[in-house]
Amino acid sequence: MRYDVLQRWCTAMVLLPMLLALVGCTGSTSSEPPSPSASSLSVDLPEYYLSGMVLQRNKPIRLHGTVQGTSTSKSVQVMARLTYKDKQYESSTQAGIDKQFNITIDKVPSQADAYILTFLLEGQVKRTIHNVYVGDVFIAAGQSNMELNYADYYEQPDSFDSNVRDMFTKSDLPSFVDDDNIRFLVVDHKIGSSALPLKSFNSAQWLPANESNAKKLGYLPQLFAEQLRLHHPNIPIGIIQTAWGGTDIARHLRDGDIYANHIAPLDGYNVAGILWYQGENDAAEQEPALQYEANFSTLINQYREVLGDSDLPFLYVQLARYTGYAYTPIVRQAQFSVLHSAAVNTTRNLAMTVSMDTDKGTAKIIHPLGKEILAKRMADQWLAIEGQTTIPSGPQASSAEPVDGDASTVSVSFNTGTAHGLQALEPNRTLRATTSTLTSSTDLPLQGFEVAGIDGVFHTASAYIQGNTVRLHSDEVSAVSQVRYLWGGAPTSQSMLYNAQKLPASPFLIAVRNTPILYRNR
């Protein structure tokens, strides 16, 4: 080969890679850019995304977080994946750096065994959470009768004495649950942050409600969960306890500090329902008691809105007997009225548990016994909602009207489905009362009914059952304009009104139709 030809060939071989590189840089714009590196990025998740967490079954699983770090790309792919053995359920989205991402995974089967939850950025695993369950999640909200637990209220001698006041002994307290498939978080009494302030014992995981941990969880939510587990042994239960003792309802509303710290951080987290027991603080003074119906209706709407379910089951306890607060009957009436209030966006899946017969004779203390009885009634309500059957309820008074033109005698009617098999029963107000021995038959006439005329002065009324109604009369009132039942802080009636399900009638105050006082006010 001639020397000049060889020289040109060698020069071409040197220049060729440079030309190819130049073409690669300025080539077709339709080629895909290389994937951005995720090595410098991380995933920040809500503080309650922890080992042992429970995600809601039968609903899309909504997850969120933030991508943090630096990247040359404006967005990265975020994937969430639930894995159990060889099964995977996943979904992905594009997220900007330092921006919140939201991922929805379609319904994932519920089971007793745990999943592994993994978060990936551009295919690289960034966070892994073990022991993640899919079951039913409930928020346990309100004040001390929902929060009431052994560790805070009874374990130390001083706290036991102040809460019991010689009404009972530790042996009278309910037994703890012992079930690793009941998992719980307890939110601490802290405010001032947008993050959910968890108790220190929950800093690393949702605790199992076993014999070591159950004393830290409220009696009512854990006993409620125990009832559900009896019916669904393969479905885990999660409890997020946000209750805060000694608080009025205003602090739990959207502009209140408890809402800001305990409810708002759960925005978008799918749950099965809300358990609510609150109102004692509002019963201490007249103004908050009179505002309770409006505030409670607003709260129900707000909680359903933030949790993304317009008819989310909302189960609540009507205030128990207690001698300490003057306006307890007014708050009870508000709680009763909310069941059918136009101020609630929808009263579907709304259920109230009456507690007038559940305290085992401990009405002198603000934290009465009987939480296992309330838990059974609330669980029965939830199971009915789940099964799309009629929600169990005691008789709910709907109207009262004079009988056959006799203004001194009135007939009280009840909402459809609540008054079948009306009967008088005697409540068991002893420490030995259980869900199965709570009532007994009685020959005593119905007690607790009162009537008033235009002067507003109430008198004891004789009462008897006639079909699905109750008839009332008092020789002291010639024209009855108002009727009330079990009105007072701690009524002691020995013969109460029940229906065929042995559920007690709610206390109530109701105006009589077509009475002079109503006519004058029209």
CATH topology of domain 41-133: Immunoglobulin-like (2.60.40)
Q: Give per-residue pLDDT as tens, 121-157.
A: 999 999 999 999 999 999 999 999 999 999 999 999 9
Note the pLDDT of residue 514.
Answer: 79
Q: Give per-residue pLDDT as tens, 243-255.
A: 999 999 999 999 9
DSSP H/E element including 291 = helix 286-306
Note the pLDDT of residue 517.
Answer: 53
For the entire predicted model, the pTM comes to: 0.91
Query: How far apart, in whole angstroms, are the C-alpha atoms of residue 220 and residue 236?
Result: 17
Note the pLDDT of residue 22.
Answer: 40
Q: Give per-residue pLDDT as tens, 38-61.
A: 789 999 999 999 999 999 999 999
Query: What DSSP state is assigned to residue 178?
Result: -
Return the sign of the alpha-carbon dihedral for residues 376, 377, 382, 387: positive
Mean pLDDT per 10-residue section of the chain, whose length is 522 residues: 47 45 38 59 97 97 95 91 97 94 95 98 97 98 98 97 95 98 98 93 98 97 98 98 98 97 96 98 98 98 97 98 97 98 98 98 98 98 98 98 93 98 98 98 98 97 98 97 98 98 98 67 33
Residue with tokens 């346990």: 140
Note the pLDDT of residue 15.
Answer: 46
Residue with tokens 């809601």: 56
Query: Domain 134-386 is of which CATH architecture?
Result: 3-Layer(aba) Sandwich (3.40)
Note the pLDDT of residue 193.
Answer: 86
- In the chain, DSSP finds a helix count (H) and a strand count (E) of 10, 25
Domain ranges of the chain: 41-133, 134-386, 397-521
